[in-house]
Amino acid sequence: MEISIDIGDISKFVGKYSLGRDNGSGSAHFLRIKIPAGQVESEKLRKIAALSEKYGRGYAEVTDRQSIQLHWIEPEKALEIFENLYEMGYYTDMCGQGFSGACFGDVRNIVSCPLSGKITDFDVSKHAIRLTEYFTGNPEFLDLPRKFKIAFTGCGGDCVRLGINDLGMFGMEYDGEYGFVPFVGGSIGASQPGPNLAKSLGIFVPEKKAFDFVKTVVEIHRDNSSRESKVKARFKNLVNQWGIERLRDEIESITGEFERVEVSTPAPSDHNGSGEQVNGLYYYTLPLVGGVLDAEKLVFIADMADKHGNGEVRLTPEQNVTFVDVNDVEKLKEDLSRVFDIKEGTMYYSSIGCASNFCGRTNEPHAKDVLKKLIEICERKGVKDVRIHVSGCRNACGCHHVGEIGLVGRLVKTDEGIVQGYDLLYGGDFAGLKMAKVHAEGLYGDKLFEEFEKLLEGIKNGTETETD
């Protein structure tokens, strides 16, 4: 649809919309649509499909922060797209701008348990949605030193990777009251002080105080994290410098004191396959390896949500799509199988590959292509219960540190010149209980897949051990 935009209306886009920079696959710009808590109605999914078809070559990706990413966006069409998104009530992350200094960071899409309010009575998604609405476009939070990532879970486990977020809110019931135990300072990118897992603040934040608590933590990041350079500007660096006790004291000097609690790091959880909800209906998660979709499949998913569920789907942190309030899971799967090659197993649900084919930081083979080849090897070996996470570079967009098997791209010098290679890691934990250790470095070509096959054989036979 064509939209005429008066120049006076452009102000409504400021601070809420941006195009990111691509440098691969012929794409110069992308946009990342924030889907609050990953919850999207079928009609909006169809409209996103239409945007993908018209402006993005019919391609779309589900990200590991429950957003939808489009590529091949022409900058002269940006205002048309923004107007469409504005009418839908959606905004974009302020990502991919390439600012050289520690500035203009934003709060990224706030992740929530995809089955929030469906398998437990504690619906944490409402907090993710309210906070996303509050931070998006808020001029007080458009110039953070660096981006800030928040996640909520309330299913009793960790399905959102609390340990690798700047702020992870673990929902629980304590002394008859719902609330959260916060984990702070997680991030596995290359910025200082390096890959870091979030630590518990050791306090219980009642649900009614969650909004003010999160706002306070983001304000502390804004006002105290380093603006000296980008590499020092993530919140984890401030947490590392201050320590948990000082950070907690600073928070409580603003919010008032919270009750002290001792909670171990939540065990990893997922919502793969199907299961029963508290209302007696069912959910089903459709695996999408690498999160890759197209416009036709988006429309088909919307149709299936209307036919078999409540007209809503939930995007997951593992780049999948979950149908909720389903009456008959088998009939849903039968219909889905007409379009999707559904394969069950942890590998299909939980493996992640970043979009390195678009960002320009790597050469071929790119992360999603490598992941596809590794899955083929696993299938040949009869292995389905392994999590594989592939990042194209040290920025760790594929979360390679917390995959059971992780790969991270690097350039390797050979006799034939510089080629794209990968380091192979083993032993990571999805919930951030531990990070993977390097198993082999600088692998490229057939060597990469041969070494992976050896590692896989060792895991399968029980002879592979994690290095210290």
Contact 70, 31 (CB under 8 A): yes
Total residues belonging to the chain:
468
**Which of 191, 225, 260 is the last residue in one of the domains?**
260
Tell whether 99 and 211 lie within a shared domain: yes
Which residue blocks in 309-424 are alpha helix, DSSP H? 329-336, 346-350, 356-359, 367-381
Tell whether 367 and 243 lie within a shared domain: no
**CA torsion angle 132 138 143 145 (round to 10):** -30
**Which of 239, 260, 281 is the last residue in one of the domains?**
260
pLDDT at 3: 54
Domain boundaries, position 388: 349-461
Contact 166, 235 (CB under 8 A): yes
* 186 within some domain: yes
* 233 within some domain: yes
Cis omega (within 30 of 0) for bond into 139:
no
Tell whether 219 and 354 lie within a shared domain: no
d(CA 68, CA 52): 10
pLDDT at 12: 86
Tell whether 237 and 371 lie within a shared domain: no
Tell whether 230 and 364 lie within a shared domain: no
DSSP string, 263-329: -PPPPB----SEEE-TTS-EEEEEP-GGGEEEHHHHHHHHHHHHHHSSSEEEE-TTS-EEEEEES-H
Which residue blocks in 327-445 are alpha helix, DSSP H? 329-336, 346-350, 356-359, 367-381
Count of structural domains, the chain: 2
pLDDT at 466: 58
Contact 185, 195 (CB under 8 A): no
* 328 within some domain: no
* 443 within some domain: yes
pLDDT at 4: 57
**Span 90-147, pLDDT tens digits:** 999 987 666 778 889 999 999 999 999 999 999 999 999 999 999 999 999 999 999 9
pLDDT at 1: 46
Tell whether 181 and 75 lie within a shared domain: yes
Tell whether 238 and 356 lie within a shared domain: no
CATH number of the domain within which 374 lies: 3.30.413.10
**Which of 260, 289, 315 is the last residue in one of the domains?**
260
Tell whether 56 and 169 lie within a shared domain: yes
Q: Give, in degrees to the nearest 5, the angle at Cα 153 between 152 and 158.
A: 120
Q: Which of 282, 285, 284 is nearest to 327 (CA)?
A: 282
Tell whether 245 and 368 lie within a shared domain: no
CA 199 from chain center: how many Å?
19
* 414 within some domain: yes
Q: Give the list of residues 6+ apart from residue 262 with CB closer than 8 angstroms, or none.
A: 202
Under-70 pLDDT residues of the chain: 1-8, 96-98, 430-432, 464-468
- What is the enclosing helix (H) or strand (E) of 220? helix 210-224
* 297 within some domain: no
Tell whether 237 and 364 lie within a shared domain: no
Tell me the backbone φ, ψ of residue 183, rounded to 5 degrees: -115, 135
* 323 within some domain: no
pLDDT at 463: 73
pLDDT at 468: 45
Q: Give, in degrees to the nearest 5, the angle at Cα 269 between 267 and 272.
A: 165
* 298 within some domain: no
